């Protein structure tokens, strides 16, 4: 193999890696737009008249407590989504990092595929009870949500 040919191979591999990296970092956004934005709108503000909550503020607080993490993975749009667990974790992390930077706790840990799998496997009969438990746990920490 000539040195010139080797350079082309290395350049091609680098380009492929950059394209793959761009796809991976953009997957959460694309999935959000395809699977969530129809109700929550592209900017995540939701629709009060249609009883669709905003994805700004409250989810960031919820991502910092176990009850809230359960709620975020068990809402019907996530629990029954056709996205697999790895894809759901990417969408949740994208939404949290893009719409909730100001409310995420400093100790925020991104959702993992394993965590999403375990939490999605639980299908609570009444999601409002899960939400209430998260809101009460936050209230005990001094965080009040208008939810």
The class level of CATH for 27-140 reads mainly alpha
Q: What percent of the chain has pLDDT over 70?
A: 82
The domain limits of the chain are 27-140
How confident is the model over 79-89, as pLDDT tens digits?
Answer: 999 999 999 99
CA–CA dist 90, 27 (Å, integer):
7
- Residues in the chain, overall count: 147
- pLDDT, averaged across the chain: 86
| Contact (CB, 8 A) for 138 and 94 | no
Banded model confidence at residue 127, pLDDT cuts 50, 70, 90: very high
pTM flag (> 0.85):
no
CA–CA dist 72, 79 (Å, integer):
9
Q: Is the pLDDT of residue 6 over 80?
A: no
43 Cα distance to chain centroid: 14
Cα distances (Å, whole numbers) of residue 135 to 2, 4, 34, 92, 102: 65, 62, 29, 19, 18
Cα distances (Å, whole numbers) of residue 145 to 7, 111, 115, 122: 57, 22, 24, 24
| Contact (CB, 8 A) for 98 and 63 | no
Q: Is the pLDDT of residue 9 over 70?
A: no
Banded model confidence at residue 25, pLDDT cuts 50, 70, 90: low
CA–CA dist 64, 53 (Å, integer):
19
């Amino acid at each position: 193999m000539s040195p010139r040919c080797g350079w082309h191979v290395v350049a091609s591999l680098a380009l492929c890696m950059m394209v793959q990296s761009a796809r991976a970092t953009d997957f959460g956004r694309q999935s959000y737009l395809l699977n969530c934005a129809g109700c929550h709108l592209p900017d995540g503000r939701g629709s009060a008249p249609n009883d669709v909550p905003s994805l700004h503020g409250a989810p960031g607080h919820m991502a910092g407590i176990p009850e809230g993490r359960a709620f975020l993975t068990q809402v019907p749009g996530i629990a029954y989504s056709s996205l697999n667990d790895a894809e759901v974790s990417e969408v949740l992390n994208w939404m949290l990092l893009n719409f909730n930077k100001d409310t995420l706790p400093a100790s925020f840990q991104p959702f993992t595929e394993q965590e999403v799998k375990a939490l999605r496997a639980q299908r609570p009969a009444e999601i409002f009870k899960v939400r209430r438990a998260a809101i009460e746990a936050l209230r005990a920490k001094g965080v009040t949500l208008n939810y």
